[in-house]
Amino acid sequence: MSALNILVLNNLASRHKDAITAVMPDITVTVTDLEHAGEHIAATDILVAWGWTDIRPLYLAAPRLKWVHALSAGVENMTCPEIQASDTILTNSKGIHGIPVSEHVFAMMLSFTRGLNLLGRQQQDAKWARVPTEEIHEKTIGIVGLGSIGREIAKKAKGMGMEVVATKQEMTTEIFVDKLYKPEQLHEMLAASDFIVVALPLTDKTAGLFTLEEFRAMKPTAYFFNIARGAIVRESDLAIALQLGVIKGAGLDVFENEPLPADSPLWAMDNVIVTPHMAAISPAYLDRAVKLFVDNLTRYIQSREMFNIVDKVRGY
Ligand code: OXD
């Protein structure tokens, strides 16, 4: 294969660059940001960026581009009509999120059940007062979308003595799941769950999936968690459900608009935990992401089947 120019729109440590250039001679890695990407795009063969980067303007100015790789799992801003109609390969970083995201989900769940969401507020006023507690032991967790993140959540939930149920397109044998539901049985699963975690990709089918109707299908004691994409949930309906006690609480890492606007009612609710789209972030993230990219680059160069190829029309 002839020389390859790789443009990366994120900082890389020298060990990351070295791992990429070690794949074959004649690889050039240029690290820059979106603002300066235009200076390099005409010569770029492979573009590496986060899936929320609007790559369309770059894509239209990239005659050599053959492959776009998302450092994230989501590719929501990478599937412009032009790329959909082209033979440009699109891959993502699916498979590296399970550990940090599942830890984040349990951090939020346990914050609610041990009252840390309330205690944190009290501590600011030096207030010594016990708050109600709950156990997650023997409670049911309902995972909406059993991909690699959902499976890691299921594994940890089992280890904590929970009953695990999940929705999944295909019925497979899942060692950490007690019962699988089809997506069309979502309401049935919601009604059976004490903790509901959304772990779906954002697609035309999942956008706006959670409305007041879905919150009404949940137990009034249920806690709802979204670590997927904000647009899967109608946020105004969620706020109403939380205000009216339709559900008990919500742990949210993703929002319809990010950053979450300062006037969102969610900020002030003490039955809501807001985290700034950081569930996947950990010191290990970039090491894992670069390793995955390097493995795929090797396959690309050797013309072997690549993994994590995204169906550009389906969106995941
Ligand atoms: C991702 C994310 O899509 O962290 O990777 O949200």
At residue 2, the pLDDT reads: 83
At residue 187, the pLDDT reads: 98
CA 217, distance to chain mean position in Å, is 24
Same-domain check for residues 119 and 199: yes
Same-domain check for residues 218 and 295: no
Evaluate whether 98 touches 151 at the Cβ level (below 8 Å): yes
75 CA distance to ligand 1 centroid (A)? Answer: 9
Residue 308 lies in a domain: no
| Cis before 220 (ω within 30) | no
Same-domain check for residues 11 and 86: yes
pTM of the model: 0.94
Residue tagged active-site, from 56, 187, 277, 288: 277
73 CA distance to ligand 1 centroid (A)? Answer: 5
Same-domain check for residues 257 and 154: yes
Same-domain check for residues 103 and 92: no
199 CA distance to ligand 1 centroid (A)? Answer: 11
Same-domain check for residues 66 and 127: no
Same-domain check for residues 44 and 169: no
Domain coverage including residue 85: 4-96+283-301
CATH assignment of the domain containing 186: 3.40.50.720
At residue 219, the pLDDT reads: 98
Same-domain check for residues 256 and 145: yes
Residue 164 lies in a domain: yes
Is residue 206 in contact with ligand 1, taking CB distance under 6 Å?
no
Same-domain check for residues 89 and 163: no
Residue 311 lies in a domain: no
Same-domain check for residues 65 and 92: yes
Is residue 230 in contact with ligand 1, taking CB distance under 6 Å?
no
Residue 123 lies in a domain: yes
Evaluate whether 77 touches 262 at the Cβ level (below 8 Å): no
List pLDDT tens digits, range 272-294: 999 999 999 999 999 999 999 99
- Give the residue whose CA is nearest to atom 2 of ligand 1: 72
Same-domain check for residues 252 and 174: yes
> CB count, 10 Å around CB of 89?
18
One digit per residue, the tens of pLDDT, for the chain of length 316 reads: 789 999 999 999 999 999 999 999 999 999 999 999 999 999 999 999 999 999 999 999 999 999 999 999 999 999 999 999 999 999 999 999 999 999 999 999 999 999 999 999 999 999 999 999 999 999 999 999 999 999 999 999 999 999 999 999 999 999 999 999 999 999 999 999 999 999 999 999 999 999 999 999 999 999 999 999 999 999 999 999 999 999 999 999 999 999 999 999 999 999 999 999 999 999 999 999 999 999 999 999 999 999 999 999 999 9
Residue 115 lies in a domain: yes
Number of domains in the chain: 2
Q: Is 277 a catalytic residue?
A: yes
List pLDDT tens digits, range 135-169: 999 999 999 999 999 999 999 999 999 999 999 99
Same-domain check for residues 161 and 202: yes
Q: Is 213 a catalytic residue?
A: no
**Strands lying side by side in the sheet with 46-49:** 27-31, 4-8, 46-49, 67-70, 89-91
